[in-house]
Amino acid sequence: MRKNSQTRARVILHVDMNSFFASVEQAYDPSLKGIPLAVAGNPQQRRGILVTCSYEARAFGVYTTMTVGEARRLCPELVIVPPDFEKYRIASSAVFDILRSYTELVEPVSIDEAYVDITDIGGLTNARAITKNIQQRILQELDLPCSIGIAPNKFLAKTASDMKKPMGITILRKREIKKVLWSLPVIDMHGIGESTEKKLVELKIHTIGELANANELTIKSALGKNGVRLRERANGIDHRPVDPEAANERKSVGSSTTLPIDETDLEACLETFKWLANKVAIRLNKQQLAGTVIMIQIRTADWQNQTRSRTVLNPIFKEEQIYEEAKNLFTTHWDHEPVRLLGITISNVIPLNELYEQLSIYDYEKHAKDAQIEGLVSNLNEKFGQNAIKRGND
């Protein structure tokens, strides 16, 4: 009797588009193919930051986050174009449409990567053939290259897709982890950044193998639940399913409050919006999200509910941005009726890491700096009380 996908060994793909923004630009303009190409937030300024670059540019030592000036010193013939995020969204949607033509079990991770569970449409027996077909279809129909990892779980599939770029297909089995991964430094492991690496080094854990064999209580004491998860990943353990609804679970983040009196004073209402903006910013920071739609809620003394919303060009997550948008909506639409309740909601949210890939999209340098400061301020306020610390003006 045929086993179902819950008891059969899972086969999961991680599809990772290669130099996505640059590849989309080359697909739209074939004259850009085969040459050193970069996408930069502000191509005209030497201090502008590269969003991504083609593999031809990487051959000269050019890499993402390098400044335009640095990149041109390494590669004088580098062609730099500004980002066009609408193009990238259209291309991304087309990629996901191709993936969903194989199975509904497609989980978008960001604009240029996704997990696909092919357990029930061929499993391991036909995994390479299915994967090759997916890769070739994306290339032939969209003129976009991708690398794909094949593995029994998400972590190993993600790791495998990074092993051969561009246009790679890599199978990584659990039994191969010791040979393939354990000798690598922990910073090379997906899910570990510089901060976590530093904590692990303090525990004298330098390689993925040392993490895999570390004492679980020691890891948990130093890194909490995340440390336990990372130790499991280092041993090839990852039970997360491919969830097509995962991206839709985080639809909005908001907060509202009932006022102590039926308020008619504008300044008092705006002070409430400042407080709400702070709460929403903290919640967004906790979940590492940003959104492009802001909505305010107004409930009048006679219990009439009103909502007003605005879509912004670049996703927002900072307290000042949220407050300014809410303030503008309120002052524009409030009819001076006594107010009983006010609220702010940020929707159409995306993960912050995707926001940085977009460069937010033209002022990456400012946003990258501000994100670190906002995170610090939010954490301090959460620890010591609201408004314990505020940012000064630049």
CATH of the domain at 173: 3.30.70.270
What is the rounded average pLDDT of the residues 318-337?
Answer: 94
Q: What pLDDT, on a 0 to 100 scale, did the predictor assign at position 2?
A: 39
- Cβ atoms of residues 131 and 123 within 8 Å: no
Assess whether pLDDT exceeds 80 at residue 7: no
Confidence category of residue 391, pLDDT binned at 50, 70, 90: very low
Q: pLDDT > 90: what percent of the chain?
A: 63
**Residue 392 domain-assigned?**
no
Q: Select from 44, 118, 46, 54 the least CA-distant residue to 82.
A: 44
Query: CA angle, corner 347, sides to 343 and 350, nearest 5?
Result: 140
C-alpha distance from residue 38 to each of 24, 66, 74, 353 (Å): 11, 10, 13, 20
One domain, residues 192 and 166: no
One domain, residues 262 and 370: yes
One domain, residues 329 and 213: no
**Residue 271 domain-assigned?**
yes
Confidence category of residue 289, pLDDT binned at 50, 70, 90: confident
One domain, residues 370 and 308: yes
The pairing of beta strand 113-117 with beta strand 12-17? antiparallel
Residue recorded with tokens 């969003």: 51
One domain, residues 78 and 92: no
Q: What pLDDT, on a 0 to 100 scale, did the predictor assign at position 45?
A: 64
Assess whether pLDDT exceeds 80 at residue 19: yes
**Residue 7 domain-assigned?**
no
Residue 59 sits in a domain whose CATH number is: 3.40.1170.60
The yes-or-no answer on residue 113 being catalytic is yes
Residue 257 sits in a domain whose CATH number is: 3.30.1490.100
Last residue of a domain, one of 32, 64, 82: 82
Cβ neighbour number for residue 95 with a 10 Å cutoff: 24
**Residue 6 domain-assigned?**
no
What is the rounded average pLDDT of the residues 216-242?
Answer: 93
DSSP label of 390? -
CA 344, distance to chain mean position in Å, is: 23
One domain, residues 255 and 374: yes
Binding residues for Mg(2+): 16, 112
One domain, residues 173 and 211: no
Q: What pLDDT, on a 0 to 100 scale, did the predictor assign at position 229?
A: 92
User: The domain containing residue 336 runs over which residues?
Assistant: 249-384
Last residue of a domain, one of 35, 56, 82: 82
Q: CA torsion sign, 206 to 209 to 215 to 218?
A: positive
**Residue 160 domain-assigned?**
yes
Residue recorded with tokens 């702070």: 278
Q: What pLDDT, on a 0 to 100 scale, did the predictor assign at position 383?
A: 52
**Residue 67 domain-assigned?**
yes
Tell me the pLDDT tens digit for each residue of 63-110: 988 889 999 999 999 999 988 888 888 999 999 999 999 999 999 887
Total count of domains within the chain: 4
One domain, residues 166 and 284: no
**Residue 53 domain-assigned?**
yes
340 vs 5: which has the higher pLDDT: 340
Tell me the pLDDT tens digit for each residue of 345-381: 998 887 775 554 444 333 444 444 444 444 555 555 5
Assess whether pLDDT exceeds 70 at residue 387: no
284 vs 147: which has the higher pLDDT: 147
Assess whether pLDDT exceeds 50 at residue 276: yes
One domain, residues 285 and 377: yes
Tell me the pLDDT tens digit for each residue of 206-218: 999 999 999 999 9
**Residue 371 domain-assigned?**
yes
One domain, residues 216 and 296: no
Tell me the pLDDT tens digit for each residue of 143-195: 999 999 999 999 999 999 999 999 999 999 999 999 999 999 999 998 888 88
One domain, residues 32 and 54: yes
Assess whether pLDDT exceeds 50 at residue 392: no
Spot the catalytic one: 25, 56, 113, 325: 113
Residue 200 sits in a domain whose CATH number is: 1.10.150.20
Last residue of a domain, one of 160, 177, 194: 177
Average pLDDT, the chain: 86
Name the H helices within 260-363. 266-287, 319-333, 352-357
Tell me the pLDDT tens digit for each residue of 149-160: 999 999 999 999
Dist CA 143 CA 190 (whole Å): 28
Q: What pLDDT, on a 0 to 100 scale, did the predictor assign at position 378?
A: 53
- How would DSSP label each residue in 109-129? EETTEEEEE-GGGTTTTTHHH
Q: What pLDDT, on a 0 to 100 scale, did the predictor assign at position 120?
A: 92
The pairing of beta strand 146-151 with beta strand 169-171? parallel
pTM to 2 decimal places: 0.68
One domain, residues 30 and 50: yes
388 vs 137: which has the higher pLDDT: 137
Confidence category of residue 51, pLDDT binned at 50, 70, 90: confident
Q: pLDDT > 70: what percent of the chain?
A: 85
What is the rounded average pLDDT of the residues 120-141?
Answer: 94
Confidence category of residue 34, pLDDT binned at 50, 70, 90: very high
